[in-house]
Amino acid sequence: MSHKSPKTKAEDEIDENLRRVYQQVLEEDIPDRFKNLLSQLKTSGGEPQEEREGKDRS
Amino acid sequence: MSHKDPRDELVEHLPAMRAFAVSLTRNGSLADDLVQDTVVKAWTNFDKFQTGTNLRAWLFTILRNTFYSHRRKIKREVADVDGIYAAAVATKPSHDGRLQMKDFMRAFDKIPVEQREALVLVGASGFSYEEAAETCGVAIGTIKSRANRGRKALSELLGLNEGEELEMTDRATMAVLAANGSSSV
Protein backbone atom coordinates (compact mmCIF):
# COMPACT_ATOMS: atom_id res chain seq x y z
CA MET A 1 0.00 0.00 0.00
CA SER A 2 2.58 2.55 1.09
CA HIS A 3 6.29 2.51 0.48
CA LYS A 4 7.94 -0.80 -0.35
CA SER A 5 11.17 -0.91 1.54
CA PRO A 6 12.65 -4.38 1.86
CA LYS A 7 10.98 -5.98 4.81
CA THR A 8 12.24 -8.90 6.75
CA LYS A 9 10.07 -11.97 7.04
CA ALA A 10 9.66 -11.30 10.75
CA GLU A 11 8.47 -7.74 10.19
CA ASP A 12 6.07 -8.88 7.54
CA GLU A 13 4.54 -11.54 9.75
CA ILE A 14 4.25 -9.14 12.66
CA ASP A 15 2.62 -6.44 10.58
CA GLU A 16 0.24 -8.92 9.03
CA ASN A 17 -0.84 -10.10 12.45
CA LEU A 18 -1.18 -6.58 13.77
CA ARG A 19 -3.47 -5.74 10.91
CA ARG A 20 -5.45 -8.94 11.41
CA VAL A 21 -6.02 -8.22 15.09
CA TYR A 22 -7.05 -4.66 14.33
CA GLN A 23 -9.16 -5.54 11.33
CA GLN A 24 -11.05 -8.17 13.26
CA VAL A 25 -12.43 -5.57 15.65
CA LEU A 26 -12.87 -3.00 12.91
CA GLU A 27 -15.23 -5.28 11.06
CA GLU A 28 -17.44 -6.01 14.04
CA ASP A 29 -20.80 -4.30 14.23
CA ILE A 30 -20.97 -1.36 16.56
CA PRO A 31 -22.70 -2.53 19.75
CA ASP A 32 -26.08 -0.96 20.42
CA ARG A 33 -24.81 0.68 23.58
CA PHE A 34 -22.90 3.16 21.44
CA LYS A 35 -25.84 4.01 19.24
CA ASN A 36 -27.91 4.53 22.35
CA LEU A 37 -25.19 6.61 23.94
CA LEU A 38 -24.88 8.85 20.91
CA SER A 39 -28.60 9.46 20.60
CA GLN A 40 -28.74 10.13 24.32
CA LEU A 41 -25.91 12.64 23.99
CA LYS A 42 -27.57 14.30 21.02
CA THR A 43 -30.94 14.75 22.69
CA SER A 44 -29.43 16.08 25.90
CA GLY A 45 -27.57 18.73 23.91
CA GLY A 46 -24.04 17.95 25.02
CA GLU A 47 -24.82 17.08 28.59
CA PRO A 48 -24.79 13.31 28.91
CA GLN A 49 -25.49 13.15 32.64
CA GLU A 50 -26.38 15.71 35.24
CA GLU A 51 -22.88 15.44 36.64
CA ARG A 52 -21.28 17.04 33.59
CA GLU A 53 -21.34 20.74 32.94
CA GLY A 54 -21.67 21.55 29.26
CA LYS A 55 -20.13 24.85 28.30
CA ASP A 56 -21.11 24.79 24.65
CA ARG A 57 -23.69 27.48 24.79
CA SER A 58 -22.55 30.97 25.62
CA MET B 1 -21.36 26.11 12.61
CA SER B 2 -21.24 25.83 8.86
CA HIS B 3 -18.66 23.05 8.93
CA LYS B 4 -19.60 19.43 9.28
CA ASP B 5 -20.22 18.86 12.95
CA PRO B 6 -17.64 16.50 14.47
CA ARG B 7 -20.48 15.15 16.61
CA ASP B 8 -22.01 13.71 13.45
CA GLU B 9 -18.70 12.26 12.34
CA LEU B 10 -17.95 10.58 15.63
CA VAL B 11 -19.89 7.45 14.72
CA GLU B 12 -17.61 6.81 11.75
CA HIS B 13 -14.65 6.57 14.08
CA LEU B 14 -16.22 4.15 16.53
CA PRO B 15 -14.91 0.97 14.84
CA ALA B 16 -11.36 2.31 14.84
CA MET B 17 -11.72 3.50 18.43
CA ARG B 18 -12.84 0.03 19.47
CA ALA B 19 -9.97 -1.60 17.61
CA PHE B 20 -7.47 0.73 19.23
CA ALA B 21 -9.08 0.22 22.64
CA VAL B 22 -8.82 -3.56 22.29
CA SER B 23 -5.14 -3.25 21.45
CA LEU B 24 -4.57 -1.26 24.60
CA THR B 25 -6.79 -3.12 27.06
CA ARG B 26 -6.53 -6.60 25.50
CA ASN B 27 -10.03 -7.16 26.78
CA GLY B 28 -13.27 -6.72 24.85
CA SER B 29 -15.54 -5.44 27.60
CA LEU B 30 -12.92 -3.17 29.10
CA ALA B 31 -12.31 -1.85 25.61
CA ASP B 32 -15.95 -0.95 25.16
CA ASP B 33 -16.08 0.73 28.55
CA LEU B 34 -13.05 2.71 27.48
CA VAL B 35 -14.66 3.72 24.20
CA GLN B 36 -17.82 4.74 26.03
CA ASP B 37 -15.86 6.98 28.42
CA THR B 38 -13.98 8.42 25.46
CA VAL B 39 -17.15 9.26 23.59
CA VAL B 40 -18.61 11.04 26.61
CA LYS B 41 -15.38 12.97 27.19
CA ALA B 42 -15.09 13.90 23.54
CA TRP B 43 -18.69 15.06 23.50
CA THR B 44 -18.24 17.43 26.40
CA ASN B 45 -14.98 18.73 24.93
CA PHE B 46 -15.93 19.21 21.31
CA ASP B 47 -15.66 22.96 21.79
CA LYS B 48 -11.91 22.35 22.11
CA PHE B 49 -11.70 20.42 18.86
CA GLN B 50 -10.48 22.46 15.92
CA THR B 51 -12.68 21.77 12.93
CA GLY B 52 -10.70 20.59 9.96
CA THR B 53 -7.99 18.94 12.03
CA ASN B 54 -7.58 15.20 12.46
CA LEU B 55 -10.63 14.03 14.37
CA ARG B 56 -9.47 10.44 14.62
CA ALA B 57 -6.13 11.45 16.13
CA TRP B 58 -7.97 13.71 18.55
CA LEU B 59 -10.30 10.91 19.61
CA PHE B 60 -7.42 8.45 19.93
CA THR B 61 -5.61 10.93 22.16
CA ILE B 62 -8.58 11.13 24.50
CA LEU B 63 -8.94 7.36 24.40
CA ARG B 64 -5.34 6.66 25.34
CA ASN B 65 -5.31 9.33 28.05
CA THR B 66 -8.43 7.78 29.51
CA PHE B 67 -6.86 4.36 29.28
CA TYR B 68 -3.70 5.38 31.10
CA SER B 69 -5.63 7.04 33.90
CA HIS B 70 -7.97 4.05 34.26
CA ARG B 71 -5.13 1.57 34.02
CA ARG B 72 -4.02 1.95 37.59
CA LYS B 73 -7.50 1.16 38.87
CA ILE B 74 -7.95 -1.75 36.50
CA LYS B 75 -4.63 -3.27 37.49
CA ARG B 76 -5.68 -3.16 41.09
CA GLU B 77 -9.08 -4.74 40.47
CA VAL B 78 -8.12 -7.49 38.07
CA ALA B 79 -4.78 -9.11 38.59
CA ASP B 80 -4.42 -10.76 35.22
CA VAL B 81 -6.36 -8.74 32.71
CA ASP B 82 -4.04 -9.66 29.89
CA GLY B 83 -4.11 -13.36 30.55
CA ILE B 84 -7.89 -13.49 30.54
CA TYR B 85 -8.08 -11.92 27.14
CA ALA B 86 -5.31 -14.05 25.71
CA ALA B 87 -7.18 -17.16 26.73
CA ALA B 88 -10.45 -15.90 25.26
CA VAL B 89 -9.06 -15.06 21.87
CA ALA B 90 -10.07 -17.48 19.17
CA THR B 91 -7.39 -19.02 17.05
CA LYS B 92 -7.76 -18.42 13.39
CA PRO B 93 -6.42 -21.06 11.06
CA SER B 94 -3.04 -20.14 9.75
CA HIS B 95 -2.38 -20.27 6.06
CA ASP B 96 0.85 -21.61 4.60
CA GLY B 97 2.53 -22.16 7.91
CA ARG B 98 2.24 -18.59 9.05
CA LEU B 99 1.94 -17.55 12.64
CA GLN B 100 -1.01 -18.71 14.61
CA MET B 101 -3.06 -15.79 15.81
CA LYS B 102 -3.08 -17.24 19.29
CA ASP B 103 0.70 -17.36 19.45
CA PHE B 104 0.90 -13.85 18.18
CA MET B 105 -1.62 -12.65 20.77
CA ARG B 106 0.27 -14.28 23.55
CA ALA B 107 3.45 -12.52 22.51
CA PHE B 108 1.62 -9.26 21.87
CA ASP B 109 0.28 -9.33 25.42
CA LYS B 110 3.76 -9.60 26.83
CA ILE B 111 5.30 -6.50 25.34
CA PRO B 112 4.95 -3.15 27.12
CA VAL B 113 1.75 -1.27 26.36
CA GLU B 114 3.69 1.70 24.96
CA GLN B 115 5.20 -0.57 22.34
CA ARG B 116 1.85 -2.22 21.58
CA GLU B 117 0.34 1.19 21.13
CA ALA B 118 3.08 2.39 18.77
CA LEU B 119 2.91 -0.82 16.74
CA VAL B 120 -0.84 -0.69 16.38
CA LEU B 121 -0.90 2.97 15.44
CA VAL B 122 1.76 2.77 12.75
CA GLY B 123 1.40 -0.89 11.80
CA ALA B 124 -2.35 -1.39 11.72
CA SER B 125 -4.40 1.78 12.11
CA GLY B 126 -2.85 3.49 9.12
CA PHE B 127 -1.52 6.42 11.15
CA SER B 128 1.67 8.05 9.96
CA TYR B 129 4.54 8.29 12.42
CA GLU B 130 3.67 11.94 12.73
CA GLU B 131 0.04 11.28 13.61
CA ALA B 132 1.03 8.54 16.03
CA ALA B 133 3.49 10.87 17.73
CA GLU B 134 0.88 13.58 18.00
CA THR B 135 -1.66 11.14 19.40
CA CYS B 136 0.73 9.90 22.07
CA GLY B 137 2.16 13.31 22.82
CA VAL B 138 5.73 12.23 22.13
CA ALA B 139 8.39 12.88 19.50
CA ILE B 140 8.34 11.01 16.19
CA GLY B 141 11.66 9.40 17.11
CA THR B 142 10.08 8.01 20.26
CA ILE B 143 7.29 6.36 18.29
CA LYS B 144 9.80 4.93 15.85
CA SER B 145 11.97 3.49 18.57
CA ARG B 146 8.97 2.07 20.45
CA ALA B 147 7.71 0.42 17.28
CA ASN B 148 11.16 -0.96 16.52
CA ARG B 149 11.62 -2.27 20.02
CA GLY B 150 8.15 -3.77 19.89
CA ARG B 151 8.88 -5.56 16.62
CA LYS B 152 12.16 -6.80 17.98
CA ALA B 153 10.57 -8.07 21.17
CA LEU B 154 7.81 -9.81 19.23
CA SER B 155 10.34 -11.40 16.89
CA GLU B 156 12.22 -12.77 19.86
CA LEU B 157 9.11 -14.00 21.64
CA LEU B 158 7.88 -15.68 18.49
CA GLY B 159 11.23 -17.08 17.51
CA LEU B 160 11.22 -15.28 14.19
CA ASN B 161 14.49 -14.79 12.43
CA GLU B 162 14.82 -11.05 12.07
CA GLY B 163 17.60 -11.08 9.56
CA GLU B 164 15.77 -13.19 7.04
CA GLU B 165 14.69 -11.21 4.02
CA LEU B 166 11.11 -11.82 2.99
CA GLU B 167 11.36 -12.01 -0.77
CA MET B 168 15.00 -12.79 -1.31
CA THR B 169 14.36 -16.48 -0.92
CA ASP B 170 12.17 -16.40 -3.98
CA ARG B 171 14.12 -17.31 -7.09
CA ALA B 172 11.77 -15.50 -9.43
CA THR B 173 12.29 -12.31 -7.49
CA MET B 174 16.01 -12.76 -7.65
CA ALA B 175 15.82 -13.29 -11.37
CA VAL B 176 13.76 -10.14 -11.87
CA LEU B 177 16.16 -8.14 -9.77
CA ALA B 178 19.10 -9.49 -11.76
CA ALA B 179 17.38 -8.76 -15.06
CA ASN B 180 16.73 -5.20 -13.95
CA GLY B 181 20.40 -4.73 -13.39
CA SER B 182 20.12 -4.52 -9.64
CA SER B 183 23.57 -5.07 -8.26
CA SER B 184 22.44 -6.38 -4.91
CA VAL B 185 24.38 -9.19 -3.20
Nearest CA distance, A32 vs chain B (angstrom): 11
Which of A8, A41, A48 lies at the smallest CB-CB distance from B166? A8
pTM: 0.74
Nearest CA distance, B92 vs chain A (angstrom): 10
Contact A21 B40 (CB under 8 A): no
By the 10 Å C-beta count (0-12 exposed, 13-18 middle, 19+ buried), B127 is classed as buried
Residue B165, beta-bridge partner list = A8
Q: Which residues of A touch B105 (CB under 8 A)?
A: 21
Q: Which amino acid is at A7?
A: K
The one-character DSSP state at B180 is T
Contact B40 A52 (CB under 8 A): yes
Per-residue pLDDT of chain B (185 residues; tens, 9 = 90+): 446 788 899 999 999 999 999 999 988 899 999 999 999 999 999 999 998 899 999 999 999 999 998 777 756 555 444 554 444 444 444 454 556 788 898 899 999 999 999 999 999 999 999 999 999 999 999 999 999 999 999 999 988 875 555 444 455 555 555 665 544 44
Say what the ipTM of the complex is: 0.70
Q: Does any CB of chain A come closer than 8 Å to the CB of residue B100?
A: no
